[in-house]
Chains A and B, each alone.
Chain A
Amino acid sequence: MKVPRCKGTRDLLPQDMAKFRRIEAQFRDCCLGWGYQEIRTPVLEYLHLFTSAGTLSPDMLGRVYSFLDWDGWSGERVVLRPDGTIPAARLYVENFENIPIARFCYVENMFAFEGTGKDARERWQCGAELIGGSKAEGDVELISLALEAITKLGIEPVELRLAHAGLIKTFLEGLGLSGEKEADVLDQVFSGNPGVLSDLKGGNPELGKNLQLLFGLKGNSPGFVENLRGVFCPSLPALEPSLNELARIANLLTGSGFSYQIDFASGRGFEYYTGIIFGFYSSGRRLGGGGRYDELIPLVGGKNICASGFALYIDELMGLLKEVPPRERVLLRARDAAWLKPSLALARKLRDAGYIAEFDLGYRKTADFRWIVNMRGGEGIELLDQSSGKKRRKSSPAELLKLLEEARCK
């Protein structure tokens, strides 16, 4: 009886895994080069890690895979991790709190229920978290790291879009909505639905109009931030600190030669974001995003320390990754038992030289291989080049490798 795959999940086939591992290796390599250390948190966490932070929306918490464990008679639920940052914050508080600056990276899967069956319930992410250190410079470091990891995969051009969570939150607070409504609007904005702002009926209609205006404007320079200050600060001076932060990052990015677009409609993220929000786009896809979350570490029981991070979405990156020519494949045929030992030795030499050496166990299409090596008693090593149909005979593995290298160089 065939049992199908669980709804909303996917198998990664060999060609998918090849891409997956390339992304993972490239990401790790970049992160390690920037001084980030790899961590892995458990798939199972307590539900209250995510509720106590008070920073995942009810909608998101309503879609986590939660269940009672075998010792869950107390009603304490565990979840399949729905997010990478909160567990990383927990890990920091548990193990590294005395370190003034911590740089972590991870490749992990996240789980969230999705009802239509069209989207994935399991998503893989490459994440990086920078806990402590200078705020604006830290954000620029993370943005640089993310862009380096994406472009080194051969994905270009990449657009960087910026928004600011603190600024959006200050605006919403100024509207005078009820606490529940305000949180709901913020959830929707952070879920990529800024259209919700057009129907707001708050106690401050003038501010409501300004908020819509904010979401309709785009800019790409520090001057744009100053323009925002000129338009909005007279009616809402509380925006000053957020605008100062945004201006500082815009100045640093411009000074470092990065191009970017400030676009509040791109401000997707999590409720725990407090400052800059950034997103990376290419070919119409959102490849990842991140933001500053200065209040999260204290919310999960740690000290008051600023932090920021991002995640790249492996599924999206896989969709844009160019095919890489596979390693050359050699099919080995040992015609009798006496030749098995030299065949194994030859295969090892081929692998060391970067070839895929596969033994012929039958049932394999020889058309999949350019090179076929026949090893027979008394006849030496015969090499068949299937692209030309030529057969060559060599007496030693070293000669054979030389021949292969010459062909590869041509």
Chain B
Amino acid sequence: MQVKLALPKGQLQDDTAELLKEAGFTVSDYCDGSRSYRPQCSGDFGLFLKVFHEKDIAIQVAIGNYDLGICRLDWVEELLAKYHSEAVVKVRDLGYGRRNLYAVAARSSGYSSPEAWKNHNNSLRIVSEYPNLAEVFALKQRLRRFQIFPVWGSAGVYPPENAELAIIAETSSKKLKEQGLVPVAPILESSAYLVANRDSLERKNLSRLLASLSTGEAVRSYVKEPPAIDASFEAQHAARRGSSVSLALPDGHQQRHAVAFLDKTGLKIEGYNAGKASSRPQIDLEGVTVKVIRPQDMPLQVANGNFDLAITGTDWLRDHLYRFPSSPVDEVLVLGFGKVKIVAVVSKDLQVSSTDDLKKMKGDSVLRVASEYVNIADKYAHDNHLAPYKLIPTWGASEAFLPEDADVLIENTETGSTIARHNLKIIDTLFESSACLIGNTEAIRWPEKKDRIAYLLETMKRGVEAGCVC
């Protein structure tokens, strides 16, 4: 009987590869830089391996697509915080990839003590990649009113201006201090875990893997850190809605294009160069502040007034507007760079060449639609009458889901080569996306901001018209 093991990509990859090697498995194509999501295990172990983003692994094991998985405990707890399931069994702490989950505040803010949050007059804003754990934290602290902002990343850059607290994972409180943050409450100690699907444990023989991954003493040099509440950092909290204009710039693969575009517009932004990782670059304009965050998070952050302007993609703007149709976010300028197509993708082995074919093929069965763009995928399936269907949110490495763990994928592509390399094919193009400047439709009209916003807009418009689209 085949045993299915889900392996993490990213930070845990090297240590996990080492662990498998020590356990006697020779695994190829599972190292930094490998482009395959299906590592091969030599020898007659009947092992099927697939590589996922860590956050997906807990989910894949919980729903029973994989018998075993390796991911950090924080992602398992994030899943269980919302979905009280007994389907995931935490088998063993593997000892590596250690980090703590903290509630943090900015050093410059007045939120480093529980009294400060509880006496907070407005709604307390908490930003996190772990929205479920953030909600549990808020409820346990008995916060009277709070808002949780789920983000794809860079949660630590939001406080103090754009959130009072963030829930983030970090290896030490020293590293938090380097980011200008102070831990205000420990939430969870995390490290890589071997997790199993309960049903698989009960019915399948997983002993070969369990025995070899459970031998030896797990490294337990974990340093328990005290809450480290440091009252000396307390200071006056910055005005929540000041008159300064806040601009969000993208990190990730859009950054290179954005840097080139901004250079040519003549806007001087120090610390936002390709390869340099400042999350708070300085712009040479009075009354304008800049932060670098994930483009996925920008529409929501602009909608709730945390930023006035942001450079993101039309794909993420649409994904947001499909979910919140009356959201006060609009595209204010088409920038045109970073063009991609948003496409529907299936396995090459499937005898379909269009969405209509897919609909005919599926009949009454439940179609599994995977995507990072959950709302675009939902609309695609809904508009094409593909019901019944199930949405599978993904956090990267989405191509890995086809064909075993999803039937169709809604994904972006520049040239189509990645899709082809993973033995997939495009059956539909939903729309074309490129970079755009989005704005909060209310903030743009505020008298104290509108002149500076108009200046930024004009400068970028001239840049676009002068043809500096990269």
Contact = CB atoms under 8 A, between A and B. Distances in A.
Interface of A: 1, 3, 48, 51-52, 54, 58, 61-62, 68, 70-76, 113, 115, 180, 183
B148 A72 contact: no
B304 A54 contact: no
Contact of B125 (A58, A75, A113): A75
B327 A51 contact: no
Nearest to A3: B388
* Among all A-B residue pairs, the 4 with the closest Cβ atoms: A75-B147, A73-B303, A58-B139, A48-B145
A52 B125 CA distance: 15
B48 interface: no
A76 B136 CA distance: 16
Interface size class of chain B, counting residues whose CB lies under 8 Å from the partner chain? 20 to 34
Contacts of A52: 144-145
Nearest to B82: A62
B123 A180 contact: no
Interface stretch (B198-206, B318-326, B457-465): B318-326
B146 A73 contact: no
A76 B139 CA distance: 14
Nearest to B81: A62
Contacts of B139: 51, 58, 61-62
A62 B144 contact: no
A73 B325 contact: no
A70 B325 contact: yes
Nearest to B138: A51
B84 interface: yes
Contact of B144 (A1, A3, A51, A180): A51
B143 A51 contact: yes
Interface string B103-133: 0000000000000000000010100000000
23 contacts: A48-B144, A48-B146, A51-B143, A51-B146, A54-B144, A62-B135, A70-B324, A70-B325, A70-B326, A71-B324, A71-B326, A72-B324, A73-B300, A73-B304, A73-B324, A73-B327, A73-B328, A73-B329, A74-B304, A75-B125, A75-B148, A75-B149, A115-B84
B364 A1 contact: yes
A179 to B, nearest CB: 9
B208 interface: no
Contacts of A74: 147, 303-304
Contacts of B300: 73
Interface string B269-295: 000000000000000000000000000
A3 to B, nearest CB: 8
Interface string B320-341: 1001111111000000000000
A114 to B, nearest CB: 9
A71 B326 CA distance: 6
A183 B145 CA distance: 19
Given A58-B142, A71-B326, 20 more contacts: A3-B388, A48-B144, A51-B138, A51-B145, A52-B144, A61-B139, A62-B136, A68-B323, A68-B324, A71-B327, A72-B324, A73-B304, A73-B320, A73-B324, A74-B304, A75-B304, A76-B123, A76-B147, A113-B84, A115-B85
Contacts of B145: 48, 51-52
Contacts of A75: 125, 147-149, 304
Contacts of A73: 300, 303-304, 320, 324, 327-329
B220 interface: no
Interface of B: 84-85, 123, 125, 135-136, 138-140, 142-149, 300, 303-304, 320, 323-329, 364, 388
Contacts of B140: 58, 180
Nearest to B118: A54
Contacts of B85: 115
Nearest to A48: B145
A377 B36 CA distance: 85
A73 B135 CA distance: 16
Nearest to B127: A75
Contacts of A76: 123, 147
Contacts of A58: 136, 139-140, 142
Contacts of B364: 1
Nearest to A52: B144
Nearest to B125: A75
B123 A48 contact: yes
Nearest to A74: B304
Nearest to B329: A73
Nearest to B147: A75
A58 B320 CA distance: 30
Nearest to B304: A74
* Most chain B beta-carbon neighbours within 10 Å: one of A52, A71, A74, A76: A74
B328 to A, nearest CB: 8
Nearest to A299: B144
A62 B135 CA distance: 8
Contacts of A3: 388
A70 B326 CA distance: 8
Nearest to A62: B139
Contacts of B136: 58, 62
A183 B141 CA distance: 11
Contacts of B325: 70
A132 B300 CA distance: 44
Given A72-B324, A74-B303, A75-B125, A54 B149 contact: no
A6 B300 CA distance: 31
A269 to B, nearest CB: 18
A115 B86 CA distance: 9
Contacts of B84: 113, 115
Contacts of B328: 73
A54 B142 contact: yes
Nearest to A76: B147
A173 B148 CA distance: 32
Contacts of B135: 62
Nearest to B142: A54
A173 B147 CA distance: 31
Nearest to A72: B324
Contacts of A183: 142
Contacts of B138: 51
Contacts of B324: 68, 70-73
A71 B139 CA distance: 23
Nearest to A114: B84
A378 B407 CA distance: 70
A2 B140 CA distance: 41
* Most chain B beta-carbon neighbours within 10 Å: one of A48, A180, A183: A48
* Most chain A beta-carbon neighbours within 10 Å: one of B142, B300, B327: B142
Contacts of B125: 75
Nearest to B86: A115
Nearest to A1: B364
A73 B388 CA distance: 27
A348 B145 CA distance: 57
Contacts of A115: 84-85
